[in-house]
Amino acid sequence: MIRVENLGKSYAGQWVVDLPELELPRGGLTAIIGPNGAGKSTLLSMIARLQSPDRGVVTLDGQDILRIPGDTLARRLTVLRQDNAMAARLTVSDLVGFGRYPYSKGRLTGEDHAKIEESLALVELQPYRHRFLDELSGGQRQRAFIAMVLAQDTEYALFDEPLNSLDIRHAVSVMQLLRRAAEELGKTVVTVLHDLNFAARHSDRIIAMKNGQLQFAGPPHQVIRTVALRDLYGIDLNVSRTDGKLMVDIYG
Amino acid sequence: MSPELRWQRACRLTLALGLVLALAVAGYMTLGAVGKWSFVLSYRGEKLLTILLVAWTVPAATVLFHVISRNPILTPSIMGFDTLFVLIQTLAVFLLGSATVSAWPPQLVFLGELAVMVVFASLLFHWLFSRIAQSLELLLLVGIVFGVLFRSVSGLLQRLIDPSEFLIVQDRMFASFSGAEPQVLTMSAGLVGVATLWAIWRLPAIDAMVLGRDAALAIGVPHRRLTAEVFLIVTLLVAASTALVGPITFFGLLVANVAYRLLPGAPLRLTLPLAGLLGAALLVAAQVVLERVLGFAGTVGIVIEFLGGLIFILLLIERAR
């Protein structure tokens, strides 16, 4: 379980994250929604130790996250950030191989190679394994990074808008992949999502944030409601049910 | 590029470059020899050792610097390291006079220079990392400013000192592959050995730094500490090579970028040895061709820097497109 206590981060005197208490229970898929600037990415960054909070603590299964050694933490929790602008001169399989670094420290074993293959297969990138990242489309590159996270095989995996720049087919398949990771592999998946329908359909819990604060949280059928979402985003939208499935119509 | 293909290519390149290097070394040791062989071989052997040491040190420092700066057209000299070296030399002559300076044991001078450079680099690094945002761009910018400052101060002092003293300073300011003293050579070799072992020990983690800060942290690489370590390794390497032959600006850039082209996307355990081998083959072959065959003594540094400068301009043009 990831627990956040009194967590705060401020820029120029303004709290971009201000969370007295928040729990992300073990297992399942948690979606974090909210408008831009709500503090979603900052929250993920602080949980994954990419940014240090100005106050408060994050605990992972009861342990203060700052006291866990880096390589131990990397075997239990990982994060995929939004902007992965990076050295393009890296092949897909090399990139995915870095996901095994916490285990093998750069010397890939047979088990590592098996994991790499498995991850490449899950994101359907085997034919592109020897391509350089700058020879891929945006969607393929995104899937390559997701494969790296899968190869890292951590119990907790945080994703910051993983569906960015994916077409419909791959967005659905990545979402199903995260779903399977949670369901079949028993991982705890926490992901920032902008598409409310993906959040409604595939998550077990939804956390809504605005202005750095928690607005509401709960299972989709409790929080995907017209009034609550209108208030959260400040736009006119409608939630309906088709065949018992929630649909959010945001298109005005 | 598949790992197998890359490995094959690395083997072929190593073989070819090894052959070139062997031929160049044979030519260097034997061509145009006059007098007793035992003297010729030991005299030239010492010079050869200097060249080989620099041929490894400069490309290694450049490649490692590229990893932490994540920019393949920078060189460590942009941080003002070599201008600091020139400033130390100038200051020593200015304050104490060349007679005093040359009377000091070379080991002491070497250690002194090394200490100043390491202290400068660590201060720069720690000051910037604790005070200002963790931005390497800023670090580089400050380095450039320091470089200009050191160069200007040296320039001013050199105008103020006695012309004959100036000649002595000037002599030490340009890369020359014949000036190293045996004691300095031994100490530099030890220093380079330590820095190299350190780099090898940390190599897998350093490799992971191509992912950038966030992804590197996500897989458990202590990014900030490692950046500091690599920075220190680069400082040691640059200090050693500068003490041996004087400031070198573009040689490392030339060799590193050729190595990147030959083995695109390769891990450091392949890129670093290739860069070293390329550097060695290039330097020794240049010595043989320019000094022994064409008879232009002391021009190797200039020619190599000229080539490196051309590569630098080409890289800039290529980026602009």
Q: Between chains, do B219 and A98 touch, taking CB under 8 Å as contact?
A: yes
Q: How many angstroms separate the CA of residue B234 from the nearest CA in chain A?
A: 21
Per-residue pLDDT averaged across A227-236, rounded?
88
Option in A70, A91, A99 nearest B265 (CB): A91
Give the residue on A whose Cα is nearest the Cα of B266: A90
Q: Are A138 and A167 in contact (CB under 8 A)?
A: no
What is the model's pLDDT at position B196? Answer: 95
What is the model's pLDDT at position B105? Answer: 80
Nearest-angstrom CA–CA distance, A96 and A170: 18
Tokens of B109: 């001078």
Inter-CA distances, B93 with A97, B86, B96, B102, Å: 54, 11, 5, 9
The set of residues, in sequence order, having a beta carbon less than 8 Å from that of A29 and lying 6+ positions away, is: A178, A179, A182, A189, A190, A191, A202, A203, A204, A205
What is the model's pLDDT at position B174? Answer: 61
Task: Please identify which residue in the block is written with the tokens 């994060």.
Answer: A79
What is the model's pLDDT at position B303? Answer: 79
Domain boundaries, chain B: 41-248
Domain boundaries, chain A: 2-249
Q: Give the closest residue to B28 by CA, choosing from B281, B246, B243.
A: B281
Q: How many angstroms separate the CA of residue A78 from the nearest CA in chain B?
A: 5
Task: Report the DSSP beta bridge partners of residue B317.
Answer: none
Nearest-angstrom CA–CA distance, B212 and B232: 19
Q: Which residues of A touch B204 (CB under 8 A)?
A: 101, 105-107
Q: Are B247 and B175 in contact (CB under 8 A)?
A: yes
For residue A243, pLDDT over 70 is answered with yes
The three-class DSSP label of residue A132 is strand
Question: Hey, what long-range contacts does A231-235 have (CB within 8 A, 24 or more apart)?
Answer: A232/A33, A232/A34, A232/A35, A232/A208, A233/A35, A234/A35
Give residues 177 to 236 of A whose Cβ lies within 8 Å of B: none
Q: Which residue has the higher pLDDT, B162 or A122?
A: A122
Option in B5, B211, B265 nearest A86 (CB): B211
Inter-CA distances, B216 with A14, A178, B227, B242, Å: 29, 22, 11, 32
ipTM of this predicted structure: 0.89
Q: Which residue has the higher pLDDT, A114 or B316?
A: A114
**CATH number attached to the domain at A2-249:** 3.40.50.300
Option in A98, A132, A145 nearest B265 (CB): A132
pLDDT tens-digit map of A174-225: 899 899 889 988 899 999 999 999 999 999 999 999 999 999 999 998 888 8
Alpha helices of B132-267 — where are they, by DSSP H? Answer: 136-160, 163-173, 182-208, 213-218, 223-245, 251-262
Q: How many angstroms separate the CA of residue B12 from the nearest CA in chain A?
A: 20
Q: Is the dihedral of CA B15, B20, B25, B30 positive or negative?
A: positive
Task: Please identify which residue in the block is written with the tokens 């020899």.
Answer: B33
Q: Between chains, do B207 and A74 touch, taking CB under 8 Å as contact?
A: no
Other CB atoms within a 10 A radius of the CB of residue A223 amount to 22
The set of residues, in sequence order, having a beta carbon less than 8 Å from that of A232 and lying 6+ positions away, is: A33, A34, A35, A208, A210, A215
Give residues 120 to 179 of A whose Cβ lies within 8 Å of B: 129-130, 132, 145, 148, 152
Nearest-angstrom CA–CA distance, A210 and A208: 7
Q: Give the rounded distance of the alpha carbon of A157 from its chain centre.
A: 6
Q: Which residues of B touch A85 (CB under 8 A)?
A: 212
Task: Please give chain B's pLDDT, 321 residues, in tens.
Answer: 778 888 899 999 999 999 999 999 988 888 877 778 778 788 888 888 888 999 999 999 999 988 887 778 778 877 777 788 778 878 888 888 777 777 778 778 778 878 888 888 778 777 766 555 556 677 677 778 888 888 899 888 888 888 887 777 776 666 566 656 777 788 889 999 999 999 999 999 999 988 888 899 999 999 888 988 998 898 889 888 887 887 787 888 889 999 998 998 888 999 999 999 999 999 899 888 887 777 776 667 777 878 888 888 888 787 766
Q: How many angstroms separate the CA of residue A158 from the nearest CA in chain B?
A: 10
Give the residue on B whose Cα is nearest the Cα of A69: B220
Question: To the nearest 10°, the Cα dihedral for B28, B33, B37, B40?
Answer: -60
Question: To the nearest 10°, the Cα dihedral for A194, A200, A202, A206?
Answer: 70
Tokens of B18: 């090894």
Banded pLDDT at A120 (limits 50, 70, 90):
very high
**CATH number attached to the domain at B41-248:** 1.10.3470.10
Nearest-angstrom CA–CA distance, A220 and A232: 15
A93 and chain B: CB distance < 8 Å anywhere?
yes
What is the model's pLDDT at position A138? Answer: 80
Task: Please identify which residue in the block is written with the tokens 């490309």.
Answer: B59
Banded pLDDT at A123 (limits 50, 70, 90):
confident
What is the model's pLDDT at position B224? Answer: 85
What is the model's pLDDT at position A114? Answer: 94
Banded pLDDT at A86 (limits 50, 70, 90):
low
